[in-house]
Amino acid sequence: MSERLQPGDVAPAFTLPDADGNDVSLSAHKGRKVIVYFYPAALTPGCTKQACDFTDNLEVLAGAGYDVLGISPDAPEKLAKFREKESLKVTLLADPEKTVTEAYGAYGEKKNYGKTYMGVIRSTIVVDEEGKVERALYNVRATGHVAKIIKDLGI
């Protein structure tokens, strides 16, 4: 199980392909705040709700200086389908090897219906303009999470 990030930690650098196969790096967002959220799988009910919530609030977040990056183990082709089907405007990144997901502490032991297994832990990391972790939220709920972030960040 990977170490969870703490406020003040340097956010691990990454470059991942987006839904169109273009590389997106965290460093390209330096000078802006970035909300990096990890979700288990595109085109599933909870992940769809969460991605739609971020899309619905993207203007509010962008207006407050935040970029939003969603990361899952899905291939870029599946992310493109997800984006088209749900009219998503957030940048979706593919991490099929889960290296970034693990670096951010968003991969580990999960329990569901009494079974324990390894998987993506729904997590949100807020990175400041300097690339440091401002907030690290793990085991978040898909529903209502975006509203809570907006409230917590005072947006």
Amino acid in the structure at residue 91? T
CA-based nearest residue to 20, from 74, 93, 85: 93
Q: Using an 8 Å Cβ cutoff, are 23 and 86 in contact? A: no
Catalytic residue from among 5, 16, 47, 58? 47
Quote the Cα angle for 32-14-121, to 5°: 95
CA gap 26, 151 in Å, rounded? 24
Beta-bridge mates of residue 116: 111
To the query of whether residue 47 is one of the catalytic residues in this protein, the response is: yes
By annotation, the residues acting in catalysis are 47
